[in-house]
Amino acid sequence: MRVPQGRKEIRDVTAWRPRVPGVVEVFHAHYTAYAYPMHVHDAWTLLIVDDGAVRYDLDRHEHGTPYGTVSLLPPHVPHNGSPVTEAGFRKRVLYLDSTVLDAGLVGAAVDGPDLRDPLLRRRVGQLHAALAHPGDAFEAESRLALVGERLRGHLRPRDHGGASPGTPSGGRPLAGRLRELLDERVTQGVTLQEAAALVHAHPAHLVRAFGAAFGIAPHQYLTSRRVDRARRLLLDGVPPGEVAAATGFYDQAHLTRHFKRLVGVPPGRYARTAAVR
């Protein structure tokens, strides 16, 4: 695609490899005139478009990504991509490995790569937000488990004929075991995969059972426990940087972001209130 005379082409790209099992790469891009040639990936491509739209060919059929659509392109299947309008498009992409979606789903994804599912799109956006912060890996794992479950539901609708995987029998005892595990590991934390193995449950099943039992997601529970510990240490005069390390936060900025969200003020300001008593 040629850039119209007098118009500047924009190629703004950000990419990184998060430490979250199942996510090979996160890729954010803003293109105005760039057109992808036919190519393949060795991972699943989970795509949402925030501005504009993309048209692409997959398995010799044309598809598009209007706002609100979630596109899932399977590995090793050629596809291209180009903007629909002169304004171009802004997209966010996750490349997922076979631990999230197995090869048996490729055919269904080729037949229907564009999914109109507002809840799925919202969850993918939330997953991107969690992946943007290294300290929020547990949240990202939890959100990825729910995204993967919903994608499999689209590609294997027959799997939803029985009981919902989110409402299994014995869900509250399972949630109780996870809460005990989180209480034991407030500072050192735990990955979702490790927790699922320790309590013998599927990760998505575990996240849903916890939310159903306690009305809060596992990552929110763990973060609030850490913030509570941080409050006590701050009032004891421990500097915020040391508090972050002592309570399981990635760094002081990570502590500040969550502390302010839950308490309403930054840690330093909170600590200063102790001096006026």
Q: Which has the higher per-residue pLDDT, 164 or 63?
A: 63
Do both 32 and 120 map to the same domain?
yes
The per-residue DSSP string of the chain comes to -PPPTT----EEEEEE--SSTTEEEEEEEEESS--EEEE--SSEEEEEEEEE-EEEEETTEEEE--TTEEEEE-TT--EEEEESSTT-EEEEEEEE-TTTS-GGGHHHHHH--EEE-HHHHHHHHHHHHHHTSGGGHHHHHHHHHHHHHHHHHHH-GGGGSSS-TTS-TTHHHHHHHHHHHHHHTTTT---HHHHHHHHT--HHHHHHHHHHHHSS-HHHHHHHHHHHHHHHHHHTT--HHHHHHHTT-SSHHHHHHHHHHHHSS-HHHHHHGGGG-
Least confident of 53-62, 143-152, 213-222: 53-62
- Give yes or no: residues 24 and 121 share one domain: yes
Residues 181 and 211 grouped into a single domain: yes
User: According to the model, what pLDDT value does residue 172 have?
Assistant: 85
Q: Are 82 and 123 contained in the same domain?
A: yes
Residue 117 shares a structural domain with residue 85? yes
Task: Please report which confidence band the pLDDT of residue 100 belongs to, taking 50, 70 and 90 as the band edges.
Answer: very high
CATH code, 254: 1.10.10.60
Domain that holds residue 208: 163-215
The stretch 259-275 carries a mean pLDDT of: 88
The answer on pLDDT for 204 being more than 50 is yes
Assess if residue 190 is contained within a domain. Answer: yes
Residues 87 and 64 in one domain: yes
- Identify whether residues 117 and 20 lie together within a single domain: yes
Residue 135 domain-assigned (yes or no): no
Compute the average pLDDT of residues 110-118: 94
Give CA–CA dist 150/147, Å, rounded.
Answer: 5
Are residues 41 and 124 both part of a single domain?
yes
Indicate if 194 and 86 belong to the same structural domain.
no
Task: Based on the fold, state whether residues 43 and 91 are members of the same structural domain.
Answer: yes
Answer yes or no: is pLDDT of 223 > 90: yes
Same domain, 186 and 259: no
Question: What confidence tens digit (pLDDT) does each residue in 137-185 have?
Answer: 999 999 999 999 999 999 986 644 333 444 444 678 899 999 999 999 9
Give the global pTM.
0.87
